[in-house]
């Protein structure tokens, strides 16, 4: 049985500013660093064979909080990056609305910005990562720290859903989603788990975006 923990990065400066990040490489903000520390504590007594991370700073710093707790290295992999958002990178939702033609979001089957990555392109890279991970870590527990869009790509690939950008899943900052591969098939055993953040959220701090 192979266990895969899919982890979204903690809150970044871009999340706090409510801008579309994509490959914009912004760090965690102070609240995000606190989330990352709690995430690390959650995994303190987990036996992991490997911790993989997107090469973007917000994911790498989140992964490092787990790795430091366990005394393990972080393995960077560019295939775990967020969607490349093209011309929408760094913009707010209001700025994107102004950029695009009238009624674009009402009529587009899969709305993406000029020069952006498609759902099919994301499917190709996360599927390649999954194949490599299963070949390398049969029977192991593995953590993957990535991004909301990328985790949606993972979930849709594992569950054989259409390879589109917008999936019917939500992944909060510093959340943990768990999949298990056994007898040749995947099953989901946890989605968007943020129980390790209860003390932080009870303190009344702002939520994530």
Q: How confident is the model over 79-113, as pLDDT tens digits? A: 999 999 999 999 999 999 999 988 888 888 788 89
Identify the pLDDT of residue 104: 85
Least Cα distance to 176 among 36, 21, 19 occurs for 36
Q: Is 116 helix (H, G, I), strand (E, B) or coil?
A: coil
Residue 207 lies in a domain: no
Residue 208 lies in a domain: no
CA–CA separation, 150 and 137 (whole Å): 20
Residue 159 lies in a domain: yes
Identify the pLDDT of residue 184: 92
Residues classed as catalytic: 9, 82
Domain enclosing residue 143, as ranges: 2-202
Total domains present in the chain: 1
* Cβ–Cβ under 8 Å, residues 125 and 156: no
Contacts 24+ apart (CB under 8 A), 67-73: 68/40, 69/40, 69/41, 69/43, 69/44, 70/43, 70/44, 70/46, 72/48
The predicted model scores a pTM of 0.93
| 162 Rama class: left (phi>0) / alpha (psi -120 to 50) / beta | beta
């Amino acid at each position: 049985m192979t266990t895969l923990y899919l982890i979204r990065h903690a809150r970044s400066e871009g999340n706090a500013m409510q801008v579309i990040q994509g490959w914009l490489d912004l760090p965690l903000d102070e609240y995000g660093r606190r989330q990352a520390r709690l995430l690390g504590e959650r995994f303190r007594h987990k036996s992991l064979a490997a911790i993989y991370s997107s090469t973007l700073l917000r994911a790498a710093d989140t992964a490092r909080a787990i790795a430091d707790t366990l005394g393990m290295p972080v393995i960077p992999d560019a295939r775990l990056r967020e969607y490349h958002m093209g011309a929408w990178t760094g913009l707010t939702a209001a700025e994107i609305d102004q950029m695009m033609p009238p009624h674009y979001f009402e009529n587009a089957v899969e709305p993406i910005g000029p020069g952006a990555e498609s759902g099919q392109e994301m499917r190709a890279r996360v599927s390649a990562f999954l194949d490599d991970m299963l070949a390398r870590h049969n029977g192991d527990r593995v953590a993957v720290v990535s991004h909301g869009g990328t985790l949606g790509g993972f979930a849709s690939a594992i569950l054989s859903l259409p390879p589109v950008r917008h999936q019917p899943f939500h992944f909060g900052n510093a959340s943990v989603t768990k999949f298990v591969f056994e007898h040749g098939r995947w099953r989901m055993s946890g989605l968007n788990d943020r129980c390790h953040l209860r003390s932080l959220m009870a303190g009344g701090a702002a939520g994530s975006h």
